[in-house]
Amino acid sequence: MLEKFFKLKENNTTVKTEVLAGITTFMTMAYILAVNPGILAAAGMDQGAVFTATAVAGLIGTVCMALFANYPFALAPGMGLNAYF
């Protein structure tokens, strides 16, 4: 099923390679789950709510990119606008 949907052989990859790449990508992006709530909590926002919103936004963006665009890109909220708060 995964082969047919994601065309793994056509893209010269395997499920194992994609899972390892996904774990690696998550680990490199996981900092935002700690940093984003910390910055916005200093501006007066609820840290738990910001953590949840950051995680949900990353999940939705990444799932949309995977299912609709069939691209192996992980998306998460950016940190640039946090400086304004």
- Helix ranges (DSSP H) in the chain: 2-6, 15-29, 31-42, 47-64
Report the Cα–Cα distance between both ends of the chain, in Å, rounded: 45
**Residue predicted with more confidence, 76 or 51:** 51
Please give the pLDDT value at position 60.
94
pLDDT of residue 51: 93
User: Can you tell me the mean pLDDT for 9-36?
Assistant: 86
Q: How many residues does the chain have?
A: 85
